[in-house]
Amino acid sequence: MPGALREETAQLLADYFQHRLGAAALPPSRTAETLRRVADELESRERPFFRDACGAAAAAEPGEAAALLGRVAAQMEAEGGLNWGRVVALVVFAGNLAAALAERGARDETGALVEALAAYLAGEKREWLEAHGGWDGFYHFFNKHDSDAADQSSTISNAIMAAAGFGLAGLAFLLAVR
């Protein structure tokens, strides 16, 4: 199971990064489609923040991006634990960091970001992920089939913004002092 969870996590992240970098492929699963949709919503709400934070971070030394992502994940954990909104915020941060690196000609560092985030989620946070239904739990959390579309959209927005408040301020502080 841990190997399967790690593989699924890496596939979902790689799909989202490709999506974020402009690849036109169809999502490989309903969970990947949900991750794209929810992450796009958070990014559209906080685009200036993510663009500025990741633009500055991408100027770091080559190979530093994965370490920075690890520090951001640790900061997020210190500010209140993990929930699905914070997972999405971390994925959006990593996707924006990958895009900023690609703009600077360091597209090859994307794989290291996928590996670092997959190791964190499916390794360090495996118990949390499994306790919350794994990626099927993620899918069901953001796809309440018994509610109407407007209610579901409101639920998604509220969940993302409440949970993603993983400390956009804390993240900004972390990036400022690195």
pLDDT for the residue 170 = 52
User: What CA–CA distance (Å, rounded) separates 168 from 178?
Assistant: 15
Cα 118 to Cα 12, 58, 108, 151, 157: the distances in Å are 9, 20, 17, 31, 25
Amino acid identity for residue 86 in this structure: R
Please provide the average confidence, as pLDDT, over all residues in the chain: 80
| DSSP letter (8 states) at residue 103 | H
User: What CA–CA distance (Å, rounded) separates 12 from 36?
Assistant: 9
Tell me the backbone φ, ψ of residue 73, rounded to 5 degrees.
-60, -40
pLDDT of 60 strictly over 70? no
User: What CA–CA distance (Å, rounded) separates 99 from 148?
Assistant: 34
pLDDT of 85 strictly over 80? yes
User: What CA–CA distance (Å, rounded) separates 36 from 44?
Assistant: 12
**Is the pTM higher than 0.85?**
no
59 — pLDDT class (breaks 50, 70, 90)? low
Nearest to 137 by CA among 129, 145, 148: 129
The CA-based dihedral angle spanning residues 63, 46, 10, 154, taken in that order and rounded to the nearest 10 degrees: 170
Neighbours of 131 (CB within 10 A): 10
Q: Which helix (H) or strand (E) holds 16?
A: helix 2-20
Instruction: Report pLDDT digits (tens) over 114-164.
Output: 999 999 999 999 999 999 999 999 999 999 765 555 454 555 555 555 445
Mean pLDDT of 81-95: 89
